[in-house]
Amino acid sequence: MKVGKVSESVLKRSVLKQMHTKRPEVVIGAAVGEDCAALRLQEDELFVLSIDPITGTSKDIGSLAVHVTMNDIASAGAQPIGIMVSALLPESVEEPELREMMRQVDVACAEIGIQAMGGHTEITRAVNQPILTVTGVGKVKNGKLVTTGGLRPGQELVVTKWIGLEGTSILAKEKERELLERFAPSFIETAQGFDRYLSVVPEAATAVKSGVSAMHDVTEGGIFGALWEMAEASGVGLEIDLKKIPVRQETVEICNFFDINPYGLISSGSMLIAVDNGYGLVRELEKDGIHSAVIGKATDGNDRIVVNRDECRFLEPPKTDELYKICI
């Protein structure tokens, strides 16, 4: 397509016509010529905003962009409402590819129950692969906002589903040919399908009902990065049992194949939750069909320790995500 904003005809048929889910809070939504979206909220509600780009992959980028951003909204204890989407595309992108991205966006919006309220779509020489940046909007009642920095000494830490889901799915799709040299097609197909677990909106809703004090979705830097960030934001120490961190065998084997660390692999689909009674939360999540595990607790002081049988190691500040060693 030609450099510049996409034409009005392309915008109408390949972007706006793909957006179907609506929310009652949205007064002004996506339309030709509209530069802003407008929402109507109650007096006792707060806006919650988040923004994320997808740069590590171009496959299933529409779905990833929505889920990653709305997971941030959910981790604040907020109810997701909608998104604004900015699509920067190289000249090599054809209109059917744009339409497929927007279809993916709409499917993800429908799954969560949010509205794509507007955005910007442009062909530019500044990028060599599609980049979708999504701004998420949510709402939460006054006094119910959950932060990353609410972890208190003595509280237990729960991880939902399994770590490394997003990174495993991306690697299985981007590096399928290489992986097929060692693994069976059914193994690769299972790993590729981990993207169906990417939303943490359901577990966040269950966790909020259980009185959590902090939540953090596990993204770049993996579980080790998320643990460090929550502890740093809260000013506490940690005692974590490595063997209790839930991880799928497909993730372990694919990480071994590429010689990368699954605990430092991007992990959208997994939520780190701080709560007084971790095992009680695990039971509540299990009722909703969500696997989870208590992996440790917060401590006084600043030592952040990961125990692996008789060995101990200290957590370090997050480093470059393991995915980028392979896919960038």
Which among 108, 141, 174 is the end of a domain? 141
DSSP string, 11-77: IIIIIGGG-----TTEEE-S-TT----EE---TTEEEEEEEEEE-S--TTHHHHHHHHHHHHHHHTT
For residue range 45-84, list pLDDT tens digits in order.
999 999 988 886 777 899 999 999 999 999 999 999 999 9
Residue span of the structural domain in which 173 resides? 148-327
Total tally of structural domains belonging to the chain: 2
What does pTM read for this prediction? 0.86
* Whether residue 105 is found in the same domain as residue 176: no
Q: Give the residue, 54 or 113, on which the prediction is more confident.
A: 113
For residue range 174-193, list pLDDT tens digits in order.
999 999 999 999 999 999 99
CATH of the domain at 244: 3.90.650.10
* Whether residue 42 is found in the same domain as residue 152: no
Residue 213 in tokens:
């004090």
Which among 107, 141, 175 is the end of a domain? 141
User: What confidence score (pLDDT) does residue 34 get?
Assistant: 59
The arithmetic mean of pLDDT across residues 198-224, rounded, is 94
* Whether residue 219 is found in the same domain as residue 194: yes
The arithmetic mean of pLDDT across residues 9-32, rounded, is 82
Cα gap 273→294, rounded to integer Å:
9
User: Is it the case that residue 4 has pLDDT exceeding 70?
Assistant: no
User: What confidence score (pLDDT) does residue 143 get?
Assistant: 87
* Whether residue 108 is found in the same domain as residue 251: no
